[in-house]
Structure 1
């Protein structure tokens, strides 16, 4: 099978078990965003880099976003990580280092949610569920998309309520609290979160603050 010219192999060392293995990356100059959905999901021309954003160790299945995968994990989380690994049931025929279809990619995000939960990172868990929802959308699996987005909403609420959130990241979190509440029919929460975003970040240069202002106006028009 010929090598996809849009992809290249990079080797990663698993911080949990020490296994060195390759994983595919998209050449950065080959990434083309065509447009965005209303919830700011990017739609790509050609190859979707989200399919390759999570690195999964083929030996112990530890998974994390590519920039963080090789980072040392604090010993205080190791028992939880080992517990997750002892309970995993991953199909033996899945090859994480090969070209990925949507189902394989979704599995890597599902694994990453377990390990981010083990490391007490609800903001990352929320992001993983959000991307899972987006990947389900791309294969028209609406039922699982909504399930993933519902999990994302719960995790974003946990992130906002129980984690330290810096001012730079807060507009993104408020945007998705409002957007996901709307998609899941929680209109009072939609109003609460978007109002907070628009009022607290009225003069912000944040992409999410600007997008949130437009999105909130659009949603208000729909709710009339």
Structure 2
């Protein structure tokens, strides 16, 4: 199936400049899962929905996830107009996106999020999806953005109300474990998997419970090999 047939146009109005534009969305009923990775990345056949996760206004450059797109006040709009809008070269992200267009959309969303001081959990989520894009492209920048993600997520777990960011403590504790493991920090991974498994809500997250146990054992095994290799 052609990629264009898996997409449809969504009409949008920019809350900053009031420009009307379209952005592509994926027809979810057409998606076919090829693989589920341990850090929640889902690989689909024929298309990567992460390419279209960020909405970008072609006129002023305002970029955000769909969920957060209209969550902006007048003061924030003024700040973005002065910091991004005046420098933005108009260009469209409304067609079938290339890797580089998808990459740029995430970087714009990160810039907007940092200017507006969005939550660490929100920024970490954008970094994680960008790391997944780099993984698909076999780019060494995957590790760089996994590190950024981990930094934001670990801080978010300690300092933020996660339900406001659409996350929960069990899932985030597990993710902190998995990201540490992928980055070779097995001791930290074991600690975070244990945080997830010891959480009072873990029994309501059966799939996370099973995965955390499996990955905890894997991290313990990897940590044991590291210690043996150091001796």
Q: How does 1:163-182 map to 2 (within 5 A)?
A: 163-166=160-163, 169-182=168-181
* SS of aligned partner of 2:205: coil
**1:50-79, CA deviations, whole angstroms, 9 ceiling, x for partnerless residues?**
11111011111111112332x241345345
For 2:194 and 2:77, locate their aligned partners in 1 and report how far apart those are by CA, in whole Å: 40
Aligned to 1:125: 123
Runs (4+) off by over 6 Å: none
Aligned to 2:197: 198
Q: How does 1:35-184 map to 2 (within 5 A)?
A: 35-69=35-69, 71-78=70-77, 80-82=79-81, 84-85=83-84, 95-117=92-114, 118-141=116-139, 143-166=140-163, 169-184=168-183
What is the deviation of 1:36? 1.2
Aligned to 2:13: 13
* SS of aligned partner of 1:97: coil
**Structure 1 runs not aligned, ≥5 long:** none
For 1:212 and 1:84, locate their aligned partners in 2 and report how far apart those are by CA, in whole Å: 42
**Structure 2 runs not aligned, ≥5 long:** 225-231
Q: Whose radius of gyration is greater, 1 or 2?
A: 2
Query: Is 1:24 matched with 2:21?
Result: no
Moved more, 53-62 or 162-171: 162-171
Q: Is contact 1:171–1:206 with CA below 8 Å preserved after alignment?
A: no
Q: Is contact 2:9–2:25 with CA below 8 Å preserved after alignment?
A: yes
**1:30-54, CA deviations, whole angstroms, 9 ceiling, x for partnerless residues?**
1121111232211101111111111
For 1:192 and 1:76, locate their aligned partners in 2 and report how far apart those are by CA, in whole Å: 41
Return closer, same or farther for 1:51/1:194 CA change in 2, 3 Å cut-off. same
Root-mean-square deviation (CA, aligned residues, Å) is: 2.4
What is the deviation of 1:131? 0.5
Q: TM-score, normalised by structure 2?
A: 0.84
What is the deviation of 1:153? 0.9
* SS of aligned partner of 2:217: helix
